[in-house]
Chain A
Amino acid sequence: MTLTRFVTKNALRNKRRSILTILSIGGSLLLLTFLITIWRTFYNSQPSEQSAQRLIVRHKVSLVFNLPSFYREKIRSIPGVKEVVNQQWFGGQYKDDKPANYFAQFGTDPEEFPKVYPEFKLPADQLEVWKHDRAGAIVDVGLAKKFAWKIGDRLNIKGLIFPVNLELTIRGIFTPPDPTQSIYFNKSYIDEGFPRLKGSEGFFAVLADSPESVPRVAKAIDEEFRNADRPTKTESEHAFQLGFIGMLGNIKAFIMSICLAVVFTILLVSANTMAMSIRERTREVAVLKTLGFTRRRILGLFVGEAVSLSLVGGLIGSLLCFFVVTGMASSGGYFTGMKVTPITMAFALLIAALVGFASSFVPSYHAAKVNIVDGLRHIG
């Protein structure tokens, strides 16, 4: 009998207990993987190649204030700027206020939009049609699938921020690298219904000539408008998005504290099981010792048992999380774009192994130290 087999046999000697422990650890690890995935989606996602090259220019005080349209040409003249396009958040309502029917709507300029967002794949013929239809819109392929939209469909969006209702026609379906949950339409459509907006824009998206020049361009743009009536704040697209997450509240602390609670819970569960099963085996340990097993080896046997139990739990948990998240991401809503990466799963397994180790060390150490005569006399 090899040592691995010995450990496996021992781990399975009380099947019900092992299974309950594994399931308990599995549940906690599922949660831990889920939380790490949220964390990574929010804070660790690497901006795509194009996104790293883009900047967002907005009013310095707040996104709620608009910038004059003529800033666009001024920004264009700044060295390092390749393309600039205006955008306006519309914030309207499709059908009703159910979260399932929520998506973002932006007014923009069809002429230059595809140049600033080259990674949004849009067939050239569709782009041509969109450019010529003032009431045309292009929609994210994911949204088109979700609502079963086709090219030529009508789209009615009720204005909540602006007193304008949009009656759009879908002219194109674009495929972005990551889901955007957005539609884009011609901004001048809002201007017609709400002339006060004419001559001003929500924000500008700028494409720089290289990712390296982004910080320099940001500084140059803010410098240009420093003493203007409406000063600007320019940041990379990634930083801009992180700013939005920050507004949701102190998510980092929220996730961290729950992760800690989870890890501590598995520690308790695992320690409990190991303490129970080791106490039962005091006499066996004494027998092993008489047979010549060293303290170290006995310690290793018990720790190995705990680590393999929690690893199995961890594997089940992180795999389950993978399926759950994949399922949720495809159903849309809050979880769009979430992915459980192999690194996240590896990390969860590492935590499981560490917890197994930490939880079994003290009881195993005590068991290994037991005096042979006392151990043999022990009544379990």
Chain B
Amino acid sequence: MAIPLSYNVRNLRLRKSLTIMTALGIALTVATAVFIMALLAGLNRAFGTTGDPLNVLMLRKGSNSELAAGGVSRDAMQVLKELPGVARNSKGEPLVSGEDILVVVLPRKGGTGETNVTTRFLTPLGIEMRPQIHLVAGRWFTPGQREVVVSSSISRRFEHANLGDVVHIGKGDWPVVGIFDGSGTAHDSEIWGDINQLVTDFERTVYSSVLVRATDPVAAEALKNRGNDDQRLELNGLLEPDYYASQTKSGAPINIVGWIVAFIMAVGSCFAAANTMYAAVAYRGREIATLRVIGFSRPSILTSFMLESLLLSLLGATLGIILMLPFNGMTTGTQNQVTFSEVVFSLQMTPAVVGSAIMFALIMGLLGGFAPAWHASRRDILNALRD
């Protein structure tokens, strides 16, 4: 027969301060794990949701980043425009966008140093090909003018990146005329400007990359292969979502250090939970013996104490998750390991993160609670009653 759960709940309530302190210890560990998982979830979201499966990104052969030197020549761009399977817009123009990427250094707000920001130069056609990006303030840049639009996260995180400010790129000052929202994609870490003006300023003779929109998924695959195989073009074709997904490796340092930290904290918390449960068992020596005399079996005592430990860790998990809730959605940045520039992302406490945090806490409770529970179920009845 099982011992009712309310017995454990009452016991936890009886030793309030002990329960709360242990639960808080577990809560802090869970909060750290949630923090790390939420960071990684945010990073995955930024890269995982960027790109349309119909878009094919063409890079120079042998390169895996838009920032590489040498790129797609003007001639190759003309060939791409004429390929079969390339979609056209309502005006009948082929949806092929030659783009150039530069990196500019901007000071972070609050004087915490400066960092590289990816600046993408393109034509209005390129904007049209990314319908998930929309303006939230000001207007788009005018072709032929030194003007830029910045993403809302960039304008929040950096000095001199608001409407009316001026960004210095190369030879000239580029006023910020608009702010766009990248909807959580990698474009949230970018500044956009007019490519024709850039070509004049920097004498760029090639594109960093060319984005091609296919009419359907089969055509996208065909265009990608065409880019890879055509000796004349010398291109490396990638589906746009695959290109961005490969950049999630930027999270590797957070991943490694984060999990070391969470693991060691979890070990510490396991010992603490074991301590509390041992104390709970020691205080209740006579009580346990009485339960045995009444007829509760050893397994039901073991289960009961395990459940109590799990309850304790569940309480800790809840506290930890509540502790981290205010940080949900907070934006932060790290270095993109592919483009060596800032990638802005936000902490995402997704259901998966919360679920894993609860599992994490339950495992701690299980490990910390087993030895004391085993001990409780094995004690000699007569000796315990005499205590």
Contacts and interface: CB of A to CB of B under 8 A. Distances in A.
Given A31-B261, A272-B22, A261 B69 contact: no
Contacts of B21: 268, 271-272, 275
Interface stretch (B27-35, B48-56, B190-198): B27-35
A377 interface: no
B267 interface: yes
Contacts of B17: 275
A30 interface: yes
Contacts of A3: none
B275 interface: yes
B76 interface: no
A247 B116 contact: yes
Nearest to A380: B283
Interface string B164-183: 00001111000000000000
B68 A162 contact: yes
The A interface, classified by DSSP as helix, strand, loop or mixed, is helix
Contacts of B340: 63-64, 247
Given A31-B261, A249-B333, A334-B256, A265 B29 contact: yes
B32 A258 contact: yes
Contacts of A28: 264-265, 268
A185 interface: no
B147 interface: no
A247 B115 contact: yes
Interface in B76-134: 102-105, 112-116
A247 B170 contact: no
A273 interface: yes
A247 B336 CA distance: 9
A250 B171 CA distance: 31
Contacts of B169: 61
A355 B340 CA distance: 41
Interface in A164-179: 165
Given A23-B271, A27-B264, A161-B63, A276 B18 contact: yes
A370 interface: no
A158 interface: yes
A62 B105 contact: yes
Contact of B18 (A158, A160, A272): A272
B279 A276 contact: yes
B138 interface: no
A34 interface: yes
Interface string B8-47: 0000000001100110110011011001000000000000
A261 to B, nearest CB: 5
Nearest to B26: A265
A152 interface: no
A16 B116 CA distance: 54
Given A20-B274, A246-B112, A265-B29, A160 B64 contact: yes
A51 B114 CA distance: 22
A31 B103 CA distance: 36
Nearest to B61: A163
B65 A269 contact: no
9 contacts: A24-B271, A61-B170, A163-B62, A165-B62, A269-B268, A272-B18, A272-B21, A272-B275, A334-B253
